[in-house]
Amino acid sequence: MTAVPDVKAALRTQSIELPSWAFGNSGTRFKVFAQPGVPRSAEEKIADAAQVHAYTGVAPSVALHIPWDRVDDYAALAAHARALGVAIGTVNANVFQDDDFRLGSVANPDPGIRRKAIDHLLECVDVMDAVGSANLKLWFADGTNYPGQDDVRARQDRLAEALREVYARLGGDQRILLEYKLFEPAFYTTDVPDWGTAYAHCLKLGDRAQVVVDTGHHAPGTNIEFIVALLLREGRLGGFDFNSRFYADDDLMVGAADPFQLFRIMHEVVRGGGFGPGSGVAFMLDQCHNIEPKIPGQIRSVLNVQEATAKALLVDAAALDAAQRGGDVLGANAVLMDAYATDVRPLLAELRTEQGLDPDPVAAFARSGYAERAAADRVGGQQAGWGA
């Protein structure tokens, strides 16, 4: 196995980005459950995210979703984040909650509505400039519900044209992260349904357009780690929206449904050079805590990613390579399984202690009294966005 000091050193460089929307009230289309103490503003969402970083030490940035986090002064919002010890990260565009987007946003047959959608994306780049963000994450709910409803090929042309305009507006250190999703809300065709479609659009745009793998956005049984390996090899893995799922886009806590899958993904990330400073892969969470408390839910999720990463870093790369080259099927598999079976919790507790953190972030947050104070101080918490 890889030496523990080397694993610890690598883990110190890890950063996991939190979604602002994980802290607001959320639910399904059947019911949004309000929780006590949830944030009433973008500022309070950032304050909650800062708590997760304070106790884990590996979540130094928070993603915005516009217009859910729209404010008058974005530079002030970024300063507020900095004062709390975190930074604003990815800016997520939202072209899926306006009546005008019933038949789509950038792929809508109506040029006026396409203009409106593109203008929103350009507004998001303005926000990026103001907060100092390098990542514009684009997910389109666009698609059709019925065969014949629209010209599937023309929709690709419209999408490409919109992406071109937005890409041209980016600053030199900014990039587009294009996210795909198999289906939902469109049920027949989706305009960016898979990594191949996202990759094809990114290739046409240029180097600063990369694919985002949301782990909940595939058909059941899809080998996500293969997609990760391939995109990394092509230099087009922009990042992850981590969450876990049992059925479709469940947005449950990452590593809850299938921790082994998360390990396999992180193994391909490490193997492909996607981990560590300068790798360019953004590790983001995209989750909803519908029934569990939100800050502890985010802490748990961050710890799950950290544990999977530690196990992936423990894989004995030399032994694996030797077994693979020697055609030793069982030996190679055993190298991976040994790393996966390692209980890394003591190692991570030790790392936190070395970093001046409490070895048990969940317990430390619970003891802090922050949740009780928020419940007393905050009345009328905000909905995360869905059904708002």
The minimum distance between CB 101 and Mn ion, in angstroms, equals 17
Among 17, 214, 225, 268, binds Mn ion (CB under 5 A): 214
At how many degrees (to 10) do helices 259-271 and 224-233 cross? 10
Of residues 183 and 370, the one with the C-beta less far from ligand LRH = 183
Element (H, E) at 51: helix 42-56
SS3 285: strand
- Residues 83-102 vs ligand LRH: string with x where CB under 6 A? ---------x----------
- Residues 262-291 vs Mn ion: string with x where CB under 5 A? ------------------------x-----
Among 181, 218, 236, 294, binds ligand LRH (CB under 6 A): 181
Name the segment binding Mn ion (CB under 5 A); options: 57-65, 208-216, 287-295, 315-323.
Answer: 208-216
CA angle 53, 56, 58 (to 5 degrees): 70
The residue among 386, 384, 363, 380 whose CA lies nearest residue 45 is 384
Of residues 253 and 344, the one with the C-beta less far from ligand LRH = 253
Yes or no: say if 310 and 346 are a contact pair by the CB < 8 Å rule: no
CA angle 302, 303, 309 (to 5 degrees): 95
Alpha-carbon distances, residue 252 vs 95, 258, 284, 328 (angstroms): 23, 11, 14, 37
Residue 92 binding result from Mn ion, ligand LRH, none, given CB thresholds of 5 to 8 Å by partner type: ligand LRH
- Across 30-45, b (16+ Cβ under 10 Å) vs e yields eebeebebbbeebebb
214 is a site residue for ligand LRH (CB under 6 A) = yes
Yes or no: say if 26 and 288 are a contact pair by the CB < 8 Å rule: yes
241 is a site residue for ligand LRH (CB under 6 A) = yes
The whole-angstrom separation of Cα 388 and Cα 386 is 5
Question: Which two tokens mark 70?
Answer: 């729209």
The minimum distance between CB 152 and ligand LRH, in angstroms, equals 21
Q: Which residue is nearest to ligand LRH (CB)?
A: 139
- Residues 134-173 vs ligand LRH: string with x where CB under 6 A? -----x----------------------------------
Count residues contacting ligand LRH (CB under 6 A)?
A: 8
Q: What is the DSSP string of 69-124?
A: T--S-HHHHHHHHHHTT-EEEEEEE--SSSGGGGG-STT-S-HHHHHHHHHHHHHH
The whole-angstrom separation of Cα 182 and Cα 188 is 10
194 is a site residue for ligand LRH (CB under 6 A) = no
The minimum distance between CB 66 and ligand LRH, in angstroms, equals 10
Of residues 161 and 184, the one with the C-beta less far from Mn ion = 184
SS3 257: coil
Question: Which two tokens mark 317?
Answer: 């790369």
The whole-angstrom separation of Cα 122 and Cα 313 is 39
Q: Which residue is nearest to Mn ion (CB)?
A: 241
The minimum distance between CB 197 and ligand LRH, in angstroms, equals 15
Of residues 249 and 307, the one with the C-beta less far from ligand LRH = 249
Residue 268 binding result from Mn ion, ligand LRH, none, given CB thresholds of 5 to 8 Å by partner type: none
Among 194, 249, 268, 307, binds ligand LRH (CB under 6 A): 249
Of residues 191 and 249, the one with the C-beta less far from ligand LRH = 249
Of residues 68 and 340, the one with the C-beta less far from ligand LRH = 68
Yes or no: say if 218 and 176 are a contact pair by the CB < 8 Å rule: no
The minimum distance between CB 310 and ligand LRH, in angstroms, equals 26
Strand partners of residue 177:
137, 210
Of residues 21 and 340, the one with the C-beta less far from ligand LRH = 21
User: By the criterion CB under 5 A, which residues form the site for Mn ion?
Assistant: 214, 241, 249, 286
User: By the criterion CB under 6 A, which residues form the site for ligand LRH?
Assistant: 92, 139, 179, 181, 214, 241, 249, 286
